[in-house]
Amino acid sequence: MSEAKLEHLLDLERIEDGFYRGQSWDLGFRALYGGQVLGQSIAAAYQTVEPTHVIHSLHSYFLLPGDAKKPVVYDIENVRDGRSFSSRRVKAIQNGRIIFDMTASFQKPEDGLSHQFAKMPKVASPDKVQQDIRFYEDNYDKLSDHMKESLSYHRPVDIRTVDSANGYTAEKRDPKRCIWMKSRDSLDDSPLSMHQASLAYASDYHFLSTSLQPHGLAVHDKSLRLATIDHAMWFHKPFKFDDWLLYEMESPFSGTARGLVQGKVFDQSGSLVASTMQEGLMRQISTK
């Protein structure tokens, strides 16, 4: 098997105008990893807008579980093209059914009033934080055959959880988490759209599980049913995903079998480059 690379995952096949096909990576989860559909939807929508326009926001819903063993078809609807903004609706389809729906807005960059009220947290530098994938590698013999086969698809994004609360520890703690992230491979020759789609792909890692921390539950708990319901994202400034970014996450609320999480993404200079919000199913069932 050839080495998995983000640029390959996000390089979609054009079927015809407005229709694109993306291949899938099986990360060993119960369903298709949601970040893949987010990233590929951005890559597909970019094919339909003027090259002068840049995505600044997206709002999406995960409607059905995706199948990681099958490709995904993306149907792009041109909602509106204006002088400054363009809107697109993206439908991700498998087996003739819509599994994901996204509305995205693109803007021709312009100057404007600017401020930042978010402060980057002080955390250990990425070179002093262990790679998350070491958890899988150190426990390789305990992994299922399916998960062992999926490890190669976790390596394209280097993710390092600052306090080791990567969703696999069951101790109770505040619903806050910081992770460093960047692509393993250089994206120097890639346009901003590739960096944005790559960040969207990675933004779903460890996100919803932040809501589990006050409850002393880990993602592998057999009594849990976790699934993303919706995901929103705002891109504030250009950035490079092959440089380290700090993803600060916290969950202000959980209840009624749902958890809410919000995230801020900073570059190493402390600039806020993106913001995220997600709500997901967090259901605990009896295993008896």
Q: Where in the chain are the domains?
A: 6-109+126-284
pLDDT of residue 166: 56
pLDDT of residue 184: 95
Give pLDDT tens digits along the chain (288 positions).
468 999 999 999 999 999 999 999 999 888 999 999 999 999 999 999 999 999 999 999 999 999 999 999 999 999 999 999 999 999 999 999 999 999 999 999 999 999 999 999 999 999 999 999 888 788 778 777 777 788 889 999 999 999 865 556 678 899 999 999 999 999 989 999 999 999 999 999 999 999 999 998 888 778 889 999 999 999 999 999 999 999 999 999 999 999 999 999 999 999 999 999 999 999 988 766
> What are the angstrom distances between the C-alpha of 197 and each of 21, 92, 110, 252, 256?
15, 15, 21, 26, 32
CATH level 3 topology of 6-109+126-284 = Porin (2.40.160)
Residue with token string 């426990």: 139
Residue with token string 């992230």: 181
81-87-93-97 Cα dihedral, nearest 10 degrees: -100
pLDDT of residue 288: 64
Q: Write out the catalytic residue numbers.
A: 204, 228, 278
> What are the angstrom distances between the C-alpha of 4 and each of 13, 185, 200, 203, 269?
17, 10, 17, 18, 30
pLDDT of residue 287: 67
Residue with token string 């202000």: 252
pLDDT of residue 143: 77
Predicted TM-score of the model (pTM): 0.94
Element at 258 (helix H, strand E): strand 258-267
Helices and strands in the chain, H and E counts: 5, 12
pLDDT of residue 169: 64
pLDDT of residue 137: 82
- What is the C-alpha to C-alpha distance for residues 281 and 260, in angstroms, rounded to an integer? 9
> What are the angstrom distances between the C-alpha of 149 and each of 84, 152, 153, 167?
46, 7, 9, 21
pLDDT of residue 165: 55
pLDDT of residue 87: 98
